[in-house]
Amino acid sequence: MREWTEEEKNRFLESPDQIRELYKKVRRSDFRQTYHIQPVTGLLNDPNGFLHANGEWHLFYQWYPYGAEHGLKHWYHVVSKDLVNWNNCGLAIAPDKWYDNGGAFSGSALVMDGKLYLYYTGIHTGDDGVVPYTCLAELFQGSYRVHKKDEPLFGPQEGYTHNQRDPKIIKLASDRYVIILGAQNDAHQGRVIVYESRRPDRGFKFKGEINVPGFMDFGDMWECPSIQKISGYDVLMFCPQHITLKYRGQSQNHNGYIIGSMDWDELVFTPVGQFHELDFGFDAYAAECAARKRSWSETTLISWMGIPDATYPTDGEEWSGCLTLPRNLRVRNRRLIQEPLAELAALRDDEADPLLEILPKACELNVYNQEEDLELHLFTKYDHSGGISICYDSKTKILTVDRSEMTLTFNNDDGNVRTRKLDGGLDHLRIFIDSSSVEIFVNNGDAVFTSRVFPLDNEHYFQMKTRAEVHIWKLKNAVCDDFIV
């Protein structure tokens, strides 16, 4: 990470006009999303602090306001009543204290006795190098103002490199709170480390690292770890870095999970299966979960629709990144099932005629397969050449998504093909398309392929080559794109 100049560090608060100029340019982009959360300007990456409090969903994201680069990170705030329609609330955390002068990195949130706490990593840069601090801020409901504490909760732990970050707060009992961090030990192995306190806002002490038998040499750093109860299981989610995995090309960016059971006294997470990818597409990372209000056993997941160390076609337009649609999580047969939230049906507008073979800019496709195999091409040209192909081969039982024929390709080093074995065959695809993304839900949540896609004006056709019943709904605009900083 590079050092920030004094000018860069201070420029945010001093120069909203500069952001307004950028915003005018950003709004002209053909690739602005219509129902996905996206940055007003600059770069968005991880979702942070996702939670429900007093009838409102709060969500934050990592934000660099000044362009499509991983610059000095801030937290930007959005709210929603229904997880479908979102409002911009503006800047939540600026990196303006001594302990976060190198950026306000990712974290989580907790509501306790009517107070809303935000936990994040403050990156301090100075003569002593890069030093990560775990920090606390309070969000005042109603005004949406954030008050940062004068001092961080705690500093770095010995035995680990400066890669110690992404606090996830977990309430175990009314007087037992843990914060877990993703970490890299001095031998460069990915770890989860644990701090514990009787209070959510002070007194956290280092307790140790979590032993995950079979996974103690699995990538050199684990980013964005979380542990949550889903359908009665503990699910450990994290992003192991710098390993390649079967079926994921040369990609070194993965976001996955292990199902198991967590012993918080002994700090052992006992897996009952393998590491599984959360998403089989090209652009999904740093998933953040929130428990659903009505049924706490249900969990909603949102991810960054992007990956680290990558460039995107909108970079030249001074913006990059968006978040995925919210998905509902359940465990079935020791795998996570991810379905689009039922509430998203509210986005549906008119039904389009599938015979026209033109994709509305924002739409939902439902494909009911009527053969063993399936071949669907999206974003093709008028003559049905090019585009993204989605093919299921019943002999190999492999579903393949191939983006190599799009005109605008990007991150080619990661490979342009992704696959997933579907032992039970392919019955159904539910596909959400926005101006620059496609999310493919397979067999009601058995697998998801999430990807950015940047179709040119002549790439809005589709072709269903095998026999299937197809329904297409145009979708309404649901993201507020107002200039609020």
Active site residues: 46
Candidate list 9, 58, 73, 248; residue touching ligand FRU; CB under 6 A = 73
Nearer to ligand FRU, 80 or 163 (CB): 163
By CB under 6 A, tell whether 106 contacts ligand FRU: yes
By CB under 6 A, tell whether 165 contacts ligand FRU: yes
Looking up tokens 């997933």, which residue turns up?
A: 420
Q: How far is CA 50 from CA 171, 221, 290, 309, 371, in A?
A: 15, 23, 6, 24, 41
Looking up tokens 């509210």, which residue turns up?
A: 346
Q: How far is the CB of 416 from ligand FRU (least distance, A)?
A: 22
Nearer to ligand FRU, 72 or 374 (CB): 72
By CB under 6 A, tell whether 4 contacts ligand FRU: no
Candidate list 100, 166, 196, 279; residue touching ligand FRU; CB under 6 A = 166
The letter for the amino acid at 228 is Q
Candidate list 33, 38, 41, 45; residue touching ligand FRU; CB under 6 A = 45
**Side-by-side strand order, sheet with 190-197:** 160-173, 176-185, 190-197, 205-209
Q: How far is the CB of 293 from ligand FRU (least distance, A)?
A: 27
Contact mark string toward ligand FRU, 108..147, x via CB under 6 A = -------------x--------------------------
Nearer to ligand FRU, 134 or 389 (CB): 134
Nearest to 367 by CA among 359, 330, 300, 199: 359
Q: Which of residues 437-456 bind ligand FRU (CB under 6 A)?
A: none
Candidate list 83, 109, 286, 365; residue touching ligand FRU; CB under 6 A = 286
The distance from CA 39 to its chain's CA centroid, rounded to whole angstroms, is 14
Q: Which of residues 321-380 bind ligand FRU (CB under 6 A)?
A: none
Q: How far is the CB of 249 from ligand FRU (least distance, A)?
A: 19
By CB under 6 A, tell whether 209 contacts ligand FRU: no
By CB under 6 A, tell whether 223 contacts ligand FRU: yes
Q: How far is the CB of 62 from ligand FRU (least distance, A)?
A: 4
By CB under 6 A, tell whether 46 contacts ligand FRU: yes
Burial class of residue 220 in the structure, from the number of CB atoms within 10 Å of its CB (0-12 exposed, 13-18 middle, 19+ buried): middle
Q: Which of residues 264-283 bind ligand FRU (CB under 6 A)?
A: none
Nearer to ligand FRU, 277 or 364 (CB): 277
Residues 73 and 46: their CA atoms lie apart, in Å, by 11
Q: How far is the CB of 121 from ligand FRU (least distance, A)?
A: 6
Maximum CA extent, the chain? 65
Nearer to ligand FRU, 249 or 308 (CB): 308
| Distance, first Cα to last Cα, the chain | 25
CA angle, 45 as apex, 420 and 401 as ends, to 5°?
20
Nearer to ligand FRU, 264 or 275 (CB): 275
Residues 136 and 119: their CA atoms lie apart, in Å, by 5
Q: How many residues bind ligand FRU (CB under 6 A)?
A: 14
By CB under 6 A, tell whether 224 contacts ligand FRU: yes
Q: How far is CA 119 from CA 48, 179, 361, in A?
A: 9, 9, 37
Q: How far is the CB of 410 from ligand FRU (least distance, A)?
A: 18
Nearer to ligand FRU, 121 or 369 (CB): 121
Residues 241 and 223: their CA atoms lie apart, in Å, by 7
The letter for the amino acid at 69 is E
How does DSSP assign 15-78, residue by residue? Answer: -HHHHHHHHHHHHT-TT--SSS---SSEEEEEEEEEEEETTEEEEEEEEETTSSS--S-EEEEE
Residues 262 and 234: their CA atoms lie apart, in Å, by 6
Q: How far is the CB of 106 from ligand FRU (least distance, A)?
A: 3
Give residues in contact with ligand FRU (CB under 6 A). Answer: 45-46, 62, 73, 105-106, 121, 165-166, 223-224, 285-286, 308
